[in-house]
A = this chain, B = another copy of it.
Amino acid sequence: MINAVGRDIPEEILKQTGKEVFQGNHYRDGYVYKKDGPYTKCVINNSGSKLVDSIHDVLVKCGIKDGMTLGFHHHFREGDYIVNMVMEEVHRMGIKDITICASSLGKAHDPIVPYIEDGTITNIQSSGVRGKIGEAISAGKLKGLAIMRSHGGRVRAIESGETRVDIAFIGTPTADDYGNCRGIGGKSDCGVLSYAMVDGDYADKVVAITDCLVPFPNFPAHISMTKVDYVVVVDAIGDPKKIATGAAKPTTDMRKLMMADYCTQFVVNTPYFKDGFSYQTGVGGASIASTISLAKIMKERNIRMRFGVGGLTKPMCDLLINGQADCLLDTQDFDLAAVESVKNLKHFRISAGEYADPFNKGAVVNKLDFVILAALEVDVNFNCNVVVGSDGVITGAQGGHPDTAAGAKCTIVIAPLLQGRIPAICSEVTTVTTPGESIDVVITDYGIAINPKRQDLIEAMKDVDLPFKTIEELRDIAYSIVGEPEKVQFGDRVVGIIEARDGTIMDVVRQVKKFEFAE
């Protein structure tokens, strides 16, 4: 069945998943559903202990068995030890057919690929995957389907009961013996536990894993003892060097600086750029550079930001420190400056649900004026792809891309027109991950295209000296330089689905096959 972004979703996938095809961003606005709830084991005594000696013992206590779904978060990013640690023990115990429901998976988790190959892990739900897990999925090694979800979409899936997490493993920089978890302190400081909060709320069994046990009460708790069954103390939950990937270095790439400048000029010429505006940006070099140049104009014009949102980096935190933003709303800390800043009283932690969930009564993304995003590919319908590489292999993550793009009043995608020999602006993206209706502006180093549905923005820019072009013109320039690339050749088997934030199907990902030249 053809969905609202023109993708043909196979009937057998709809049947297998029980899902509908994507029908537009607002299809489920106003939808009423009953939230799920976890099976909870009451603790009505003052004598028990939640401390358990080992991952093995806690798996036994949680009743680990074939077919279970295990929850993980990715706040330790490339420094995460938790997923491998738990899955190694699950594998050792001979458990099969596990579904991993992670907020994201990365190269740190390459070691679990053998567990995919031997059937220990048969399903993966994640914002995305990088490294060898992506290759394994794209090669058809996962028995079940990979489901790629946005950060808000994961919360939706869990709280609607579509995904039931049997056991959540929450790596936490500090915990007390009763399970109060905090994202700060200890050896593996990650600042926040935003993505794990929904696991705390909805998983039947919740295990806190820490390498820094602190006295009760570890307050204010980011995840409460009232939701935690067991606490396991291990030697190390992560590699601190790889958790915060280091201070973001301002880019010196002239192409990125130019795009950043275009972006800033665009932003300040919209009607949304006024005192009290709100803003989110990613961690790409151009995004960061545009935040820095925006800060200068804010200062010149005496315009304050009401709140900044996101996965945060130093330039955003500087806005708070310099008094140019009233507060920050934080779901993830990408560098040490952000981890440090979260101690600021106006740097607020928010859960992934508060941030981006489409199935609550209103998330922060709905209140965004601007979001600055990146993309691997954008097509002439403004559809974006942030998950599947130009070789057809899964190599990225939805993250908050579809959530913020849908919510913000002005969604800007920055992409260099050419990534090596690959055009970023094309006739049709390999895989649709964020629908074109969410994207208002595409900024490239060869020009800027405004989505024709935003006539208001086109009107606002009519006297602005920026290199505006149509999206088709941008594509044509790209194709004129590198040619129109051959389409990636996929096999028939669907190995993954790209889930829209509301749980409908945006696109499917098929098994890659060796490229065959036409005769």
A residues adjacent to B (C-beta < 8 A): 25-26, 28-46, 50, 159, 178-179, 206, 215-217, 219-220, 224-229, 276, 306-307, 327, 329, 348-350, 353-354, 357-368, 406-409, 502
Check A38–B42 contact: CB distance below 8 A: no
Chain B residue at minimum C-beta to C-beta distance from A156: B42
Chain B residue at minimum C-beta to C-beta distance from A368: B46
Check B39–A357 contact: CB distance below 8 A: no
Instruction: A31 to B31: give the CA distance in the assembly, Å.
Output: 34
Check B362–A43 contact: CB distance below 8 A: yes
Can you add 12 more A-B contacts, CB < 8 Å, to A33-B39, A226-B360?
Answer: A28-B42, A29-B44, A30-B42, A34-B38, A34-B40, A43-B361, A46-B407, A178-B362, A217-B348, A219-B350, A226-B362, A226-B363
Instruction: A30 to B40: give the CA distance in the assembly, Å.
Output: 9
Q: Which of B28, B44, B225 contacts A502 (CB 8 A)?
A: B44
Most B CB contacts (10 A, CB to CB) among A29, A44, A159, A502 go to A44
Q: Which residues of B contact A30 (CB under 8 A)?
A: 41-44
Chain B residue at minimum C-beta to C-beta distance from A226: B360
Instruction: A32 to B42: give the CA distance in the assembly, Å.
Output: 6
Check B45–A29 contact: CB distance below 8 A: yes
CB distance from A341 to the nearest CB of B (A): 15
Contacts A29-B44, A32-B39, A46-B366: A226 and B353 contacting too (C-beta < 8 A)? yes
Number of copies: 2
Check A38–B39 contact: CB distance below 8 A: no
Query: When A and B form their complex, which 3 residue pairs have the shortest distance between CB atoms, in order from nearest?
Result: A35-B37, A226-B360, A43-B362
Instruction: A359 to B38: give the CA distance in the assembly, Å.
Output: 12
Check A226–B357 contact: CB distance below 8 A: yes
Instruction: A227 to B351: give the CA distance in the assembly, Å.
Output: 13
Q: Which residues of B contact A206 (CB under 8 A)?
A: 361
Contacts A179-B362, A219-B329, A327-B217: A408 and B46 contacting too (C-beta < 8 A)? yes
Check B306–A409 contact: CB distance below 8 A: no
* Interface CB pairs A-B, < 8 A, 22: A25-B44, A28-B42, A29-B42, A32-B41, A34-B39, A35-B37, A42-B361, A44-B406, A45-B366, A46-B366, A46-B367, A179-B362, A216-B307, A217-B306, A217-B348, A217-B364, A219-B350, A220-B348, A225-B354, A225-B362, A226-B363, A229-B361
Check A26–B45 contact: CB distance below 8 A: yes
Check B39–A367 contact: CB distance below 8 A: no
Chain B residue at minimum C-beta to C-beta distance from A328: B219
CB distance from A67 to the nearest CB of B (A): 19
Q: Which of B37, B43, B219, B226 contacts A36 (CB 8 A)?
A: B37
Instruction: A225 to B44: give the CA distance in the assembly, Å.
Output: 31
Q: Which residues of B contact A362 (CB under 8 A)?
A: 43, 50, 178-179, 225-226, 228
Q: Which residues of B contact A43 (CB under 8 A)?
A: 29-30, 360-363, 366
Most B CB contacts (10 A, CB to CB) among A26, A30, A32, A217 go to A217
Instruction: A32 to B348: give the CA distance in the assembly, Å.
Output: 34
Chain B residue at minimum C-beta to C-beta distance from A409: B46
Check B37–A225 contact: CB distance below 8 A: no
